[in-house]
């Protein structure tokens, strides 16, 4: 009687899927961070401005920490870089130091 074989997903497929998930996370997180920095810039309430600035800065720092471990296409890298440049500019306007 033949041994049972398991349906296994090749390791490269898992790695590709994981990298895609990380790429998607970085892009989405950069967009969410820009939303929070935009809210902070428009806020008249100082507590709301402080909270949303902190959230945007946390996202920026997370993206910067993770980006080198993700394989990005040239187009994805350009888009992420543009988002990060805009985010950093907005965070500087909000008083953040880099």
Domain map of the chain by residue range?
Answer: 23-93
Query: Are 11 and 58 spatial neighbours (Cβ–Cβ below 8 Å)?
Result: no
Residue-wise pLDDT for 35-92, tens only, equals 999 999 999 999 999 999 999 999 999 999 999 999 999 999 999 999 999 999 999 9
Q: Model's pTM, two decimal places?
A: 0.84
Query: Are 76 and 20 spatial neighbours (Cβ–Cβ below 8 Å)?
Result: no
pLDDT given for residue 26 in this prediction:
97
| Ranges 11-15, 21-25, 38-42, 48-52: which has the least confidence | 11-15
Smallest CA-to-CA distance from 86 within 76, 94, 73 is with 94
The sign of the CA dihedral 47, 54, 21, 8 is negative
| CA angle, residues 50, 54, 55, in degrees to nearest 5 | 120
Residue 2 in this model has a pLDDT that exceeds 60:
no
């Amino acid at each position: 009687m033949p041994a049972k074989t398991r349906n296994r997903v090749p390791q490269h497929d898992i790695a590709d899927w994981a990298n895609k998930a990380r790429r998607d996370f970085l892009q989405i997180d950069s967009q969410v961070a820009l939303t929070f920095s935009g809210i902070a810039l428009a806020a008249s309430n100082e507590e709301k401005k402080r909270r949303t600035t902190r959230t945007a800065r946390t996202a920026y720092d997370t993206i910067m920490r993770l980006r080198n471990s993700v394989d990005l296409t040239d187009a994805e890298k350009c888009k992420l870089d543009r988002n990060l440049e805009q985010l950093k500019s907005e965070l500087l306007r909000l008083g953040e130091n880099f």
